[in-house]
Structure formats: C-alpha cells, structure tokens
Amino acid sequence: MAQEAIAIDENPLAWDIRHRVSLWLQLYFTDQDHPKLFGLSIPNDWDMSVYWRFQTGFPYTPDKSFPGMVLDVGEKPQVNSMRLPSTAFTDVKLHKRFRISGMEYTMQLWVNNLFNNKNVQTVYSATGLYNTNNNQSGIIGAGTDRQADPSYLGRGRQVILGVGLQF
C-alpha cells in the first residue's frame, strides 16, 4: 500500500511584519538646568519625548478576482500572499512643570500621529485598497462613500491637552 505524500505549505501568519524601525528620543530638563538654545534661554523644568515608527504591512489573502490573479480551475489564492502598505507615525509628548504657592502644576500636550499619516489597517480582498471594493473583471473602479470605511485606516492626528495639580 503506497502512502500519499502530504503537501507542505508555508504561509506568513496574519501578524507577520517583515521590517520595523523605531526611534525614541527623550529630553528632560530639571528646574536647575537653565537650558539655552542658540544662545537664548528657554524655560526649564520640562520634558519632551518623540516616538517614531515605520513598519512594513501585514499580510492578507487576496480574492480570486484580484487584478492580475491567475489561478487554475479549482485553485484558491495563496493564503496571506499579499501585503498591506507600510505604515509610519510620529508621536510627540511635551510636559511642563510650574511651582506656584507651594503647589506643582503641570501642562501636558500629546500629539499622536503628528503628520496625520493615512495608515491602512485593512483592505478589500478583491481590490487591495481600503476605499473601494469595486472590481469589475479585474478592473478597479472608484469606490462609493459607503465603501470608504474609516475603520480600515489607523488613527489620524489626535491632540490631547492636559492640566495637572500636585499638592
């Protein structure tokens, strides 16, 4: 009795990111530092952090009607054979401390996705785009407003202003 060979198939997992580069920069000045920039005194007792990240896109499985897809009869598209676009964002946090009448006040400014990048999180499998599912025999047409699902994009720019009191 002949034993049938088992087909081995390797596919990227849904969470697979091939490349990621991150950079984190933090500046911190106490009330004793008295910093200067280009010879000018700037306020003391503050800190700032900048976080930047770039990464390649996650994999996804295209539909059999994806443009340029050539399949044999009964064949299915290979699992996770396509990739979402790369993503990048920059987050900035500023934190300033003030002392007035024995109490410490803080002002905080957080800006997430400073440059308001459109980071694609999901796409339509028939088109590979986040804003249209209109695929007519391999020709991608313009999408409707209903197809431009905002949940398919990552968060846009977000600005948060905070005030704190410590006593």
Is 138 in contact with 126 (CB distance < 8 Å)? no
Answer yes or no: is 140 within a domain: yes
Answer yes or no: is 81 within a domain: yes
Answer yes or no: is 85 within a domain: yes
What is the count of structural domains for the chain?
A: 1
Answer yes or no: is 1 within a domain: no
Does the predicted model carry a pTM greater than 0.75?
Answer: yes
pLDDT digits (tens, 9 = 90+) for 137-148: 777 788 777 777
pLDDT digits (tens, 9 = 90+) for 14-53: 899 999 999 999 998 888 888 887 888 888 889 999 999 9
Dihedral through CA 8, CA 14, CA 17, CA 23, nearest 10?
-160
126 Rama sector, left if φ>0, alpha if ψ -120 to 50, beta otherwise: alpha
